[in-house]
Structure 1
Amino acid sequence: GSDRSLQAFLDRYVEMADCDELSYAAFHDWFEPGFVALLREILDDAIENLDTGRADLNGRLERFRDVLIADATIVSLYQDAADIYTATGDHQAELKLHLTESLSTGLPTRFRTTDGTTHERSQLPTGEWVADALILLDLGFYDFWLFDRIDQNGGWFVSRVKDNANFEIVEELRTWRGNSIPLEGESLQAVLE
């Protein structure tokens, strides 16, 4: 792992902020024992008050072990960080937070930060953790290989689809009353028109 010493933190801060005038003594003074104790107390309180209990999934969701929501968001940073956190635009810096959250606990199950140009799909590995879970995916995760891997590992998924998607409807899961039309064998675009 990376060096987590106070000096290493100062070095990273100076590098990111491009402020080589900050002395170790001045930086070190920020971390007086009283301030460090307060930070630890705040962190301990936050961890203690986390509700890690699971809420039971009800109704149609009962069949799943969990419902997991995967998404990413971009945080704009100071331009000085552009060497480390590249962005999609020129002379910008962006950090992208990739997060998977559990619906039953309300807590993240996995997260990662990258630069702003990293694609969401590359940050969602598949494996046994998807078994018996329903994964909700945004368009950034639209990838048939990913869908296949979720299925192969015993998971389920719901994804937004691209505007030009034209799937063949292979089965109707419900019989509708009234003057309904059969959809089996039709293409999605033909039905939507």
Structure 2
Amino acid sequence: MALIPGKINPHEIEKVLNKMFSPEWLRETAAKVGYVQRNRKIDPVTFFWVLVLGFGIGLQRTIASLRRAYETASAETLVPSSFYDRFNKGLIAFLKECLAHGIADLASHASLTFSDKLRVFKDLMVADGTIIRLHDKLAEQFPGARGKAKLKIHTVIGITGNTKSIAIYAGKTAEIKTMRVGSWVKDNILLFALGYFKYELFSRIRRNKGYFVSRLKKSANPTIVSVLRDYRGNPVDIAGKKLKEILPRLKGEVIDVEVEVSIKGKVKKTEKDGAFEIYRPTCGTPKVKETFRLVGVLDEESKTYHFYLTNITPEQLSAEDVALLYRARWSIELVFKELKRLYQLDVISSGAPAVVESLVLVAMPTLVVSHRLLNHMRLLAPEKSARFTPLRWAESFYSIAPVIMTRVLKFIGIDEDPLLLIIYFMAEGVDPNVNRERLLSPWVKAVNSPGIRWK
């Protein structure tokens, strides 16, 4: 793409990221959460950008590799144990603040908007979770299935508004227990994997004036109340019958009906968690009936129906559009692929709980920074916006992240020391074991050469 000279600021990227996470904000936040009491060798600004952008191509985010990246960026030599100790509860608190701040900034810089079909909705949001394997020593802190140590990351992402919610749970936590519904769902459409399938969840979304689309569980057998769309081949006598009862008689390509299901009785608000209101069923109440819309679309290849449950009306979206919309759920799989394949989130080898949680949290601001730059590039070239595909962008960002880190730090005056490479190799290239016997020690000795004395 040809850029017009004078139209693009050569420091666009640095300006965007330093506005998103200003040095002042990073230092104040690190002090506020107690991560930095007084300035020592580790500067929170340099440390933050090293954590977020200082990984090398094909490298895991290990403590050792991050320490070397910090030494390279700061021209400071650090004792490994001292650097390791920085991965503690204070860092976890700091990273959580950074993540919340980054998500808020990202949400205010949208680069996409809805087409006419979805113009009445606020955003399209996808909820899902992914499992991270951990060191066996962490099975007690992060229990997973069959006694293994695993961690679950629950994520809700907004397609246009860039809203993101990220939370960490023990691996064995059921998906439905990670989904909190409150006023934030109003006018949004939420897409769910089958792990979140529960009528009570869908009822809460509707009660909070939100919308949802979910695949229908194979075991579900709702009662058909009425037909919402007539077409050639559609049976006319299906009202009052169970879905599985009429399935063999379906001949049309699409079925669009209203169905009735049983859910637990009245609900009441029992607690608050931050900005989210949590609702739980009142104990001892009987089940009540509630209606939803059921859409079935025939898969020509398998000759089976794919069924979707929703509360979006036929006037808002046709049955075919509901099925097509559900495909957008794949976008969250691309996010997980970015986190695992590129940012090495799935290969954390540490057995220390604080280190594991820190390294997991580090990948989240990296994701937010990546998507913030993606939005900015789309805004710079709106005619090519659709061609900035998420995974291609992620791979491009990943390959140049260390370069971005160097430029971001230089932009705010944290420049490379002229002796940087000498300092780095003197620190990292020298074996710290002074008295260790080496293979060539009996046969070689250093050449006396004039030069500087290293202390």
Both proteins in one fold, TM over 0.5: yes
Aligned to 1:99: 155
The aligned runs of 1:42-191 (5 Å cut-off) are 52-90=109-147, 92-105=148-161, 107-176=162-231, 178-182=232-236, 183-191=238-246
CA deviation vs aligned residue, 1:76-115 (integer Å, no higher than 9, x gap): 111122221111112x21010000011214x452110111
CA deviation vs aligned residue, 1:112-165 (integer Å, no higher than 9, x gap): 011101111111111111111111111111122211111110011111222121
CA deviation vs aligned residue, 1:22-45 (integer Å, no higher than 9, x gap): xx94233579xxxxxxxxxxx9xx
Say if 2:104 is the partner of 1:27: no
The alignment-based identity, stated in percent, is 28
> Which secondary structure state, in structure 2, belongs to the residue aligned with residue 169 of structure 1?
strand
CA deviation vs aligned residue, 1:154-182 (integer Å, no higher than 9, x gap): 01111122212111222333232x34322
Structure 2 segments unaligned to the other structure (5+ residues)? 1-31, 38-77, 86-97, 249-455
Change (3 A) 1:146 1:2: farther
> Which secondary structure state, in structure 2, belongs to the residue aligned with residue 170 of structure 1?
strand
Q: Tell whether the 8 Å contact from 1:74 to 1:96 is kept in structure 2 after alignment.
A: yes
Give the aligned length: 158
Bigger helix fraction: 2
Change (3 A) 1:179 1:192: closer
Q: Which has the larger radius of gyration?
A: 2
Q: Tell whether the 8 Å contact from 1:68 to 1:135 is kept in structure 2 after alignment.
A: yes
Which contiguous aligned blocks of 4+ residues in structure 1 show a shift greater than 6 angstroms? none
CA distance in 2, matches of 1:26, 1:100: 36
Q: Tell whether the 8 Å contact from 1:99 to 1:108 is kept in structure 2 after alignment.
A: no
Greater relative CO, 1 or 2 (CA 8 Å, sep 6+): 2
TM-score (norm 2): 0.32
Change (3 A) 1:5 1:93: farther
Aligned to 1:34: none
Change (3 A) 1:80 1:30: closer
> Which secondary structure state, in structure 1, belongs to the residue aligned with residue 246 of structure 2?
helix
> Which secondary structure state, in structure 2, belongs to the residue aligned with residue 89 of structure 1?
helix
> Once the 2 structures are TM-superposed, how far is the Cα of residue 2 of structure 1 from its aligned partner?
7.8
Change (3 A) 1:133 1:93: same
Matched letter for residue 81 of structure 2:
F
> Which secondary structure state, in structure 2, belongs to the residue aligned with residue 86 of structure 1?
coil
